[in-house]
Amino acid sequence: MILVTGGAGFIGSNFVMNWLAQSDETTINLDLLTYAGNLQNLSSLSSDQRHIFVHGNIADSTLVNGLLTQHQPRAIINFAAESHVDRSIHGPEDFIQTNIIGTFRLLEAVRAYWNGLNEGAKKGFRFLHVSTDEVYGSLSKTEPAFSETHQYEPNSPYSASKAASDHLVRAYHHTYGLPTLTTNCSNNYGPYHFPEKLIPLMIVNALAGKPLPVYGDGQQIRDWLYVKDHCSAIRRVLADGRVGEVYNVGGCNEKPNIEIVHTICGLLDELRPRSDGSSYREQVTYVTDRPGHDRRYAIDAGKIASELGWKPDETFETGIRKTVQWYLDNQSWVSNVQSGSYRSWVEKNYQGRG
C-alpha cells in the first residue's frame, strides 16, 4: 500500500491513475481539494476498491497520524503543494502554509511512523518528495542546464516555499535517517491540467474566442515534460533511487513560450478550425510581464538516465498533440472546472496588463 498526497491535482491524479493501471497495490489518496484539486479527475476510479480517497490536509497531524497507523503504507509520494507562481505573487501565505508548514508536519508524522516500524519495514520504506526546477532560479541562454548540485536561487514566493520544503526533506534524511527521495521536474503538461497554466489556458481561451495573453516578449524558455513521462520517472525513482538522493526529471524539450503558443494555434487550426477561417494566432495578445519572471529553466536529466535508465517517451510534438486533442475531447471537464472563482482569478491576474 502507498499513500499519495495531493493525488486529486494535475500531476497527482495522473500519477494515481497511472499507478493503478500498472499495479494492484492499494493507493490512499489524501487531498484537501483546493481550487486545483478535482475529484472529477479520478472519476474512472470511482468504483475501484484499490483507490481510497481521504479529504484532508497534510498539515493535519492527527489525520495523517491516523492514516499511517491504520493503513501502514510502505511509501509516501508527496505531491501536495500550492504550485502557481502568479498566485504566489498575489497571495504568498497559502504557499508558506502548505509548502513549508504542511511539509514539516507531514515529515514529523512520517518520522514518528517510520521509527515505529520493524527493521525490515523501516529498510524498505520510502518518502518521495516531488519538487520543481524553479528552486534553482533562472538561467541565461548560454548557461548549462540545472544539475542536481546547482545552487538554489528561488525567485518567487512559490519557488522559495518549494525550496524550503526540499531543504526540510534533505534535513530529515541527514538528521533522522528518514529514507527520502526528491525529484525536481521541469514544466509538466497534459490531461487534467487546471486552465491557469500556459498550455491549458491557451487552448481554453483560443476555443472561447478570447485573447491569448503572452507575458512580455514571449521568449521565456522552459523545458516541457509530458505528465505521463513524469509519472514513469517517479515510479523508477521510487523503485530504485538511492536513498537521500535528488533526481532531476526533464522532457528534453526547451522551448520559448511564444513557440508553445504558436504550436497550439497551429494544432487547433488543424483540429478545430475557426469558423471565420482565420488562424488562432490572431488572438495572441502581448501583456505586461509578471514581476520577477525567470527567463529560462533547463533540466539536465543525465543522472536519472545513467543511474535508473529513465528517459521520456514523448517528444514535445507528440505530447502537445495528445494534450490538445484531450482538451478538445473533454470540453465538459473544462466547463466544470471553470467555476466563478476561477474566472475571478483570471480577471484579477490579467486586468490592466494589456
Catalytic-labelled residue, pool 113, 136, 158, 327: 158
Cβ-contact 312, 224 below 8 angstroms: no
Nearest residue to 35 via CA among 89, 128, 98, 106:
98
Catalytic-labelled residue, pool 31, 82, 133, 300: 133
3-state secondary structure at position 152: coil
Helix, strand, coil % over all residues of the chain, rounded to 5: 50, 15, 35
The C-alpha torsion from 224 through 252 and 308 to 111, rounded to 10°, is -30
**Catalytic annotation on 133?**
yes
Residue 30 CB coordination number (10 Å): 27
**Catalytic annotation on 282?**
no
Catalytic-labelled residue, pool 31, 86, 134, 166: 134
Beta-strand pair 126-132/180-185: parallel
Q: Given its phi and psi angles, is residue 177 left (phi above 0), alpha (psi -120 to 50 degrees) or beta?
A: left
**Catalytic annotation on 226?**
no
- Cα-only R_g, the chain: 20
- What 3 state SS string does 271-303 have? HCCCCCCCCHHHHEEEECCCCCCCCECCECCHH
Q: How far apart are CA 166 and CA 161, in angstroms?
A: 9
In the block, cell 498526497 appears at 5
Q: Quote the crossing angle between the two packed helices 316-329 and 257-271, to the nearest 10°.
A: 50
Cβ-contact 211, 32 below 8 angstroms: no
> For the chain, where are the E strands, in sequence order?
2-5, 27-31, 51-55, 75-78, 126-132, 180-185, 187-189, 212-215, 221-226, 246-249, 254-256, 284-287
Active-site residues: which are they?
133-134, 158
